Amino acid sequence: MSPTRIAIIAGEESGDRLGGALMSALSARRDITWFGVGGDDMVAAGLDPLFPLEEIAVNGFDAIVRRLPQLLARIAETAKAVAAFKPDVLIVIDAPEFNHRVAKRLRRALPDVPIVNYVSPTVWAWRPGRAKAMRPYVDLILALFPFEPAAHARLGGPKCVYVGHPLYEALRAGRDGSVGEALLVLPGSRRGEIDRLMPLFGEALARLAPEVPVRLLAVPRHRERIEAYVADWTVKPEILTGAEGKRTAFATARAALAASGTVTLELAAARVPMVVAYKLDFTYRQVKRLHRFIPIVTATSMVLANIVIGRNAIPAFLEDEATPEAIAGALEPLLRPGTPERDDQATAFDEFDAAMRVATSPSEQAADAVLDLLATRATR
């Protein structure tokens, strides 16, 4: 029996990690010839990349515009090379700006090759029309969140199966059940959100005047900027950075004040009660205003755990609602044991655990779904 030919493309480091784990799970089950684009994890799993991942791993609108000619050339090159490889299946991982353009070109060139999209675009949060637009060139979506299959079904998107979230599984496995002594502050990882949130968080802490230690987890490249803001705070946090700092921060957190984002998933997995706040940049403020007239944003919450469990158990304050008084008032009961607010979040974390859990591991679930698709195609 000849090897299965799989083309696989990751457009950034997070996708490379997913791709490496999926490749290992698939290679353990059958003989595979790999082709595509990826980074260190995918190379370690057996990929000889078409070109270095760094050439297409760009973040932010401005960066995409600056490198647009190079990116367009790489899209054309990648699609042509994948078509020449004649894969049994193409797997594209996240990075829709690059990967979906490759997928569309392959569908035109080789319409019988099934295409798998690993990591659903956030059609459930904004621009829901993207779900239906994917249907002509994506046969299967491997979703990281349990609510995404229903969202795609509702929006007319491709077939979608939940395979689990690797980050959640890793954090869930590492928690020890202890109650920490500190208030953890997480102001985000991007310069803009740090600039918007640090003054707000400082004022909220001043009103709260916590009796517990305060620790702030900073992205190393922004530490000096954060230290400059903290210099004006009346409550002085201990600033932690790096992997060891993150382990300490999460292990010792009794409650957290966090920017909206993936970190709220991490806190929920670690069962740290939290309050979430966010201030939008100029572009997203305009989107929010436009949403009054055109339904662009469809998410019921900016906290992933709230969306997963279907109720707003975790307090979240956006834009004008994000005031020092509101944040301090929501945080205060989370720092005291046995309060209804802490108990409600503990119940929410139980619900979150039950919804997110998968039978094996995310990579194994993803491998099952890919092989099921190939088996179905083989019987046609």
Which residue from 139, 107, 122, 136 is spatially nearest to 376, judged by alpha carbons?
139
Do the Cβ atoms of 207 and 176 come closer than 8 Å?
Answer: no
Burial of residue 292 (number of CB atoms within 10 Å: 0-12, 13-18, 19+) = exposed
Do the Cβ atoms of 94 and 12 come closer than 8 Å?
Answer: yes
**Predicted confidence pLDDT, tens digits, the chain (380 residues):** 799 999 999 988 889 999 999 999 999 999 999 999 999 999 999 999 999 888 776 555 555 666 667 788 999 999 999 999 999 999 999 989 899 999 999 999 999 999 999 999 999 887 899 999 999 999 999 999 999 999 999 999 999 999 999 988 877 766 555 678 999 999 998 888 899 999 999 999 999 999 999 999 998 999 999 999 999 999 999 999 998 999 899 989 999 999 998 899 999 999 999 999 998 754 444 444 443 434 434 456 789 999 999 999 999 999 889 999 999 999 999 999 999 999 999 999 999 999 999 999 999 999 999 999 999 987 77
- Between the CA atoms of 197, 203, 209 and 214, what dihedral angle is there, to the nearest 10 degrees? 30
Q: Residue 141 is which amino acid?
A: I
pLDDT in tens, 189-198: 888 889 999 9
pTM across the whole model: 0.85
Domains detected in the chain: 4-164+358-378 (3.40.50.2000), 170-356 (3.40.50.2000)
Question: Residues with Cβ < 8 Å from 89, sequence gap 6 or more?
Answer: 4, 6, 7, 113, 114, 115, 116, 370, 373, 374
